[in-house]
Amino acid sequence: MWKLAEFFGDEEGIVKRLADLNPGSRNVTIQMRILAEPLTAQNLLTIISALTELTTKYWLIAKRRFADFIEYTQTHNGRFAEEAQIVITRISYNSPFNMDWKVDLSAPSVAEALVTTIDGITQRQERLEKAKLENQAKALEIKEAEQKAEQDNQIALLEQEKHRLELEQRRLEVLGKQLEVQKKGIEYALEIAGKVVDMLHPGADPATRAMEIQALLPNLVQLQNGKGLELALPPLSKDTE
Confidence class for position 26, pLDDT limits 50, 70, 90: low
pLDDT score recorded for residue 3 = 43
Phi-psi region of 234 (alpha: psi -120 to 50; beta: other; left: phi over 0): beta
Higher pLDDT, 238 or 182: 182
Confidence class for position 132, pLDDT limits 50, 70, 90: confident
Neighbours of 209 (CB within 10 A): 17
Buried b (16+ CB within 10 A) or exposed e, 212-228: bbeebeeebbeeeeeee
What are the residue boundaries of the structural domains of the chain, listed by start? 2-123
| Tens-digit pLDDT profile for residues 109-125 | 888 888 888 877 777 66
CA 16, CA 108: separation in Å to the nearest integer?
Answer: 9
| Tens-digit pLDDT profile for residues 190-216 | 888 888 888 888 888 899 889 888 888
pLDDT greater than 70 at residue 129: yes
Instruction: Work out the average pLDDT over 147-171.
Output: 89
pLDDT score recorded for residue 9 = 44
